[in-house]
Amino acid sequence: MRLDSYADAGVHVAIDLVNRLVVQQDGGERLDTLARILAVDPGSVNQVRDEHVPGFVALGEQLHSVVADLARGDDDAAATRLNAMLSAHPAHPRLAKEDGRWRMHHHPSDAPPVQMWTSICAEALGRLLAAGHGHRVGVCSDPNCGRAYVDTSRNHTRRFCSTTCQNRAKTAALRQRRRNALLAAESSERDRHRS
């Protein structure tokens, strides 16, 4: 799956807002976390202040619901939520020159940061859904994790948010198999003694 870099940024920022502001709140200053999430757009990083943090947390919560809908294959529910977000903060196509090159932006030039990123994230996830890729948004299979991810693998085999969670699950499964084998060996040993 390939998206243009702008739409890509919207999807990745959406996933980051969900993971770092909602699911697994970073220990540090939330404004620093927010600045790291928005690093893709230096203009936004310059603009965000402490007063914007609650708005971005609320956006993260809305996106968390969209991610949960997509992860369980409920595109209809996700579309309803995305439409509500786009009605509140419509995307306005507009050409903007960046580093000498014209790029398509999808928000009004004077939109405050939360509104701007609401339309960018909602439009990016909407495009993903409309392109039939909604099922590529997932929630980590580790039940203790809950972080979201976008599966960009060719054969759509991703199940975990990170290799850390994947390896932890593999190790746990291996340990469980060993434990089961040990229990089976012990019980057959007991049976032998009884007979």
Residues in touch with Zn ion (CB under 5 A): 140, 142, 145, 147, 161, 165
The one-letter amino acid code at 63 reads: L
Minimum distance of Zn ion from residue 104's CB (angstroms): 33
The nearer residue to Zn ion, 114 or 165, going by C-beta atoms, is 165
Minimum distance of Zn ion from residue 3's CB (angstroms): 23
Minimum distance of Zn ion from residue 121's CB (angstroms): 21
Tell me how far CA of residue 119 lies from CA of 57, 112, 190, in angstroms. Answer: 15, 11, 65
Question: HSE on the CB side for 189, CA within 13 Å?
Answer: 6
The nearer residue to Zn ion, 23 or 66, going by C-beta atoms, is 23
CB 27 within 8 A of CB 40: no
The position carrying tokens 């014209």 is 102
Tell me how far CA of residue 17 lies from CA of 151, 168, 189, in angstroms. Answer: 17, 24, 54
The nearer residue to Zn ion, 67 or 116, going by C-beta atoms, is 67
Separation CA 111–CA 89 (nearest Å) = 9
The nearer residue to Zn ion, 111 or 148, going by C-beta atoms, is 148
Q: Which residues, listed in sequence order, are joined to residue 36 by a DSSP beta bridge?
A: none
Minimum distance of Zn ion from residue 139's CB (angstroms): 9
